């Protein structure tokens, strides 16, 4: 921890020596290992270490930002100067402020023991286990791609000239794979993915089995004719949808009028069974941290409660502009970016019904296991149209796999048409979703 905490202190001192009243420094150090195996051989092994810093200065109500990986004392001095110069061309803005020091509660994010004691050979064996499990699932799993184990340890430190200091460290372990199933001329693919802050909670074999299952289930897929039908979203696909909704619930998007939720606070925006929250302290999510990247303590922020829009995600700037308290959502993409109002662990709260019961209740619909083009959904108009594949459901049972269809609609209608939410909340990275049933969606074949 010492090197990142020393770096931020050094930067604050440089700022003070230049008579800058308000300065904030953020430093992160990341160590990474990634092992990718193919045919039981290590295909790629990557090891990395990187430390970088970002500085914000608030000078005459103008905010400037710059970053660097040049940690020499000349590099750091140049960085503060650059941030100051960048502040000179932006307009003044009374809403900018740095965080006041506040107490925060630590989070158990660090699995130091696994990091220190598990050997590289054991980690390679974990990666091989993913591939073996995928291949062993079914003889039709003919190839496996990107069987990967990766681990990361990060140390973050933050300080500002108001006396704030914060620091934390964490680990992240993940396993992922793409299984390819073949039968005759037909080729289908299936993904598996798992993340945990603790190595013991990672289940690499399960990731292989899931990918195998998904790929084999799609063999013999065909298209269906254009129609309106219910769709049931697998939790992984639900999480992808939440990934489109989340940016529209940020203070920045609302204040710039770039959100489909603009002007909708207090209104019904989803069916009454829908509850969406953001929680930076949820350990199941990859974005867990005790403080956000400005130093504001994290916590649960209810956004949609029983279908009614209750609030937005704020950093200090958007909160001041809106006249509310910051929600601990001032997050940086890395030391290279400024803290923007952004989702941390963003999730749809689970309902009571097991997923199997939801599917059993569907007369005719598409159980969606894969979508393409989610990033093309329009966050302002809410329109989306996606390539989709999955399993056709008839009279409560899976009838046959479906591929090459498009599902289309609007996020607003989509949220209002959610008729059932499963009890099986699952996080995929920092987005969490249970199984969701949505009524009457356009399917084009």
Partner 1 sequence: MDWTEATLRNILTKALENGGDFADVFIENRQTLRLVREGERLDKVNSGTDRGAGVRVVANGSTAYAYTNDLTETGLLEVAQVVAKAVEDGSSTAVEALTKRDNQVEINPVIDPRQVELTQKADLLAKADQVARAVDSRVAQVTVFYRESVQDVLIANSRGYWAEDSRTRLALGLMVVAKDGEIMQTAYESLGGATGFELLTEESVVEMARKAASAAVRMLTAQPAPAGRMPVVMAAEAGGTMVHEACGHGLEADLVQKGVSVYAGKIGQQVAAKGVTVIDDATLPNHYGSYRFDDEGEPAQKKVLIEDGILKGYMYDLITAAKDGVTPTGNGRRESYHHRPIPRMSNTFIAPGPDRTEEIIADTDTGLYVTKMGGGEVNTATGDFVFEVAQGFLIRDGQVTEPVRGATLTGNGPETLKLIDRIGSDLGFTIGTCGKSGQGAPVCDAQPTIRITELVVGGIAAGEAGEEA
- Quick one: how many helices (H) and strands (E) in the chain? 10, 20
Between CA 315 and CA 325 the distance in angstroms is 9
Cβ closest to partner 1, residue 101 vs residue 373 = 373
Spatial separation of the C-alpha atoms in residues 392 and 445, rounded to whole Å: 13
User: DSSP secondary-structure letter at 251?
Assistant: H
For the segment 4-33, give every residue that binds partner 1 (CB under 8 A).
none
Looking at 1, 16, 40, 43, which residue binds partner 1 (CB under 8 A)? 43
Task: Single out the residue of 18, 145, 198, 264 in contact with partner 1 (rule: CB under 8 A).
Answer: 145
Residues for the chain: how many in total? 445
DSSP bridge partners of 331: 340
Residues 437 and 417: beta-carbon distance below 8 Å: no
Identify which of residues 204 and 365 has a Cβ nearer to partner 1 in the complex.
365
For residues 223 and 352, which CB has a smaller minimum distance to partner 1 in the complex?
Answer: 223
Binders of partner 1 in range 184-243 (CB under 8 A): 187-189, 222-229
Transcribe 344-413 into DSSP letters: SSEEEPP-SB-HHHHHHT-SEEEEEEEEE-GGGS-TTT-EEEEEEEEEEEETTEEEEEEEEEEEEEEHHH
x/- string (CB under 8 A) for partner 1, residues 380-399? Answer: xx-x-xxx----x-------
Site for partner 1 in 278-337 (CB under 8 A): 336-337
Q: Is 268 near partner 1 (CB under 8 A)?
A: no
**Do 198 and 173 form a contact (C-beta atoms < 8 A)?**
yes
Which residue of 1, 50, 108, 220 would you call a contact of partner 1, by CB under 8 A? 50
Residue 167 or 189 having the CB closest to partner 1? 189
Tell the smallest beta-carbon distance from residue 299 to partner 1 (Å): 27
**Calpha distance 138→141 (Å, rounded):** 6
Longest CA–CA separation in the chain, Å? 73
Instruction: Decide if residue 40 touches partner 1 (CB under 8 A).
Output: no
- Give min distance, CB of 382 to partner 1, in A: 9
Q: At closest approach, how far in Å is the CB of 265 from partner 1?
A: 17
Closest distance between partner 1 and the C-beta of residue 405, in Å?
A: 8
Residues in binding contact with partner 1, number by CB under 8 A: 77
Q: Which of residues 101-140 bind partner 1 (CB under 8 A)?
A: none
Interface pick for partner 1 out of 9, 22, 45, 273 (rule CB under 8 A): 45
CA-closest candidate to residue 278, choices 351, 337, 330, 335: 330
Residue 143 engages partner 1 in binding (rule: CB under 8 A): yes
């Amino acid at each position: 921890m010492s090197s990142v905490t020393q770096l931020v202190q050094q930067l604050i001192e440089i700022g003070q020596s230049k008579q800058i009243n308000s300065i904030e420094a953020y430093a992160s150090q990341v160590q990474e290992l990634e092992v990718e195996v193919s045919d039981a051989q290590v295909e790629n092994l990557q090891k990395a270490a990187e430390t970088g810093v970002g500085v914000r200065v608030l000078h005459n109500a103008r905010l400037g930002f710059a970053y660097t990986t040049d940690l020499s004392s000349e590099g750091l001095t140049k960085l503060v100067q650059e941030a100051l110069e960048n502040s000179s061309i932006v307009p003044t803005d009374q809403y900018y402020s740095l965080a006041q020091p506040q107490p925060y509660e630590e989070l158990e994010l660090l699995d130091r023991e696994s990091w220190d004691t598990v050997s590289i050979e054991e980690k390679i064996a974990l990666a091989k286990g993913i591939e073996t499990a995928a291949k062993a699932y079914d003889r039709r799993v003919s190839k496996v791609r990107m069987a990967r184990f990766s681990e990361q340890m990060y140390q973050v430190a933050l300080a500002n000239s108001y006396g704030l200091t914060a620091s934390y460290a964490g680990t992240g372990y993940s396993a992922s794979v793409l299984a390819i199933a073949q039968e005759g001329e037909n080729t289908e693919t299936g993904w598996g993915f798992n993340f945990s802050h603790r190595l013991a909670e990672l289940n690499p074999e399960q990731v292989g089995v899931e990918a195998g299952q998904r790929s084999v289930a799609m063999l013999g897929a065909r298209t269906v004719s254009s129609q309106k039908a219910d769709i049931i979203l697998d939790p992984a696909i639900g999480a992808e949808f939440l990934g489109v909704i989340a940016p529209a619930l940020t203070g920045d998007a609302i204040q710039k009028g770039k959100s489909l939720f603009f002007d909708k606070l207090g209104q019904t925006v989803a069916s009454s069974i829908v509850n969406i929250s953001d929680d930076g302290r949820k350990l199941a999510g990859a974005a867990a941290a005790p403080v956000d990247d400005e130093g504001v303590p994290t916590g649960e922020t209810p956004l949609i409660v029983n279908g009614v829009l209750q609030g937005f995600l704020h950093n200090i700037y958007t909160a001041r502009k809106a006249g509310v308290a910051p929600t601990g959502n001032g997050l940086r993409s890395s030391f290279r970016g400024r803290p923007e109002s952004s989702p941390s662990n963003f999730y749809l709260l689970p309902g009571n019904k097991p997923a199997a019961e939801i599917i059993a209740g569907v007369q005719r619909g598409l159980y969606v296991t894969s979508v393409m083009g989610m990033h093309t959904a329009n966050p302002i108009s809410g329109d989306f149209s996606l390539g989709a594949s999955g399993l056709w459901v008839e009279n409560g049972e899976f009838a046959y796999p479906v591929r090459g269809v498009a599902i289309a609609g609007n996020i607003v209608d989509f949220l209002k048409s959610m008729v059932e939410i499963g009890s099986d909340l699952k996080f995929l990275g920092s987005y969490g979703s249970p199984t969701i049933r949505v009524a009457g969606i356009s399917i084009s074949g």
